[in-house]
Structure 1
Amino acid sequence: MAIADLFPDAKGVLHLAPANKDELLGTLATEAAQRLGRPVQEILDALQGRERLGSTALGRGIAMPHARLPGPDAKLAILARLDRPIEFDARDGEPVDLVFLVLWPEDASEGFLPALSGICRALRDTHFPRQLRQAKSAEEALLLLREADTPHAA
């Protein structure tokens, strides 16, 4: 699945200032609940349950909290850029300032792993996270997300 399909518009990019991981997950759950028309606690419980299995921090200041939810309407991705990095239990010890939230329907197994791996593949380019951090607007960050799927000429 293309990253651009996960982020159809600039509303998928947030600028946040959480004090810690719990506050971040709560804010993301609230935002996701509003967009999906679902209870905040359902989403927060799913995200916290996944984090109990192990941190979703990827390293280099990036995290990808993700969860599967019941129902066909549970597909959502949000990029959050944080004002200040926060502790996220990353293996490399780096605090997190870029967060990719991915929610997916439990019954739609196809697409979930490709969505996660597509984001990870784009993040392998060390310039991409830096560009996202320096984007001056949600629209500019969205353009970078869309360009991440486009092969660059040598």
Structure 2
Amino acid sequence: MTFLELLKPQAVKVVAAASSKKRLMHDIAELAESAHGLPAAAVVEALMERESLGPTGVGHGVALPHARISGIDEVRGVFILLEKPVEFESVDRQPVDVVLALFAPEDAGVEHLKALALVSRTLRDAALCNKLRANPDPATLHTILTADRSSQAA
């Protein structure tokens, strides 16, 4: 599993600001719908249901929301860079500005876990996150994510 497999260029977006965590979930869902054809309403519902189990803000301004979605056959991702961080109930209580959401088939087992591990390991790299934050262009963000990690299998 690589970032090239997870993340299409059109699945990367810069958002000026999200007024709330819930608004951010809607932004994620709209991007998932336009990039991957996923139904936005189902995506929001699945993400919010997952968040009710515990927040997916992992700290240092990074969130990794994820959910299982019926009707898809492989793990897909969307990436959002927020120009203005939003409160996300993260483990370190810091607002979030780097968001990579993953969507997996309902019956995905190990592939979903491999994708989560890859994304988590990658976005734990403070230098990479700083590079992402310094490049508010979707094409550049996609290049950074895929070029820096495309050779690392989970």
CA distance in 1, matches of 2:123, 2:31: 24
Write the letter of the residue equivalent to 2:14. H
Matched with 2:113 is 113
C-alpha distance 107-24 of structure 1, shift in aligned 2 (>3 A): same
8 Å CA contact 1:75–1:105 kept in 2: the answer is yes
* SS, match of residue 98 in structure 2: strand
Encode CA deviations 1:43-85: one digit per residue, 9 max, x unaligned. Answer: 1110000000000001000001100011234632111000100
* SS, match of residue 108 in structure 1: coil
CA distance in 2, matches of 1:22, 1:136: 22
Encode CA deviations 1:82-121: one digit per residue, 9 max, x unaligned. Answer: 0100100011111000000111111232311111110111
Write the letter of the residue equivalent to 2:39. P
Q: Cα RMSD between the aligned structures? A: 1.7
TM (norm. structure 2) is: 0.89
Write the letter of the residue equivalent to 2:11. G
CA distance in 1, matches of 2:7, 2:34: 16
CA distance in 2, matches of 1:130, 1:13: 17
CA distance in 2, matches of 1:139, 1:35: 14
8 Å CA contact 1:57–1:63 kept in 2: the answer is yes
CA distance in 2, matches of 1:136, 1:87: 20
Matched with 1:139 is 139
TM (norm. structure 1) is: 0.89
Matched with 1:34 is 34
* SS, match of residue 43 in structure 1: helix
Matched with 1:85 is 85
Structure 1: where are the runs of 5+ without partners?
none
8 Å CA contact 1:2–1:149 kept in 2: the answer is yes
CA distance in 2, matches of 1:74, 1:25: 21
CA distance in 2, matches of 1:24, 1:103: 16
CA distance in 2, matches of 1:147, 1:74: 21
Q: Max radius of gyration: which structure?
A: 1
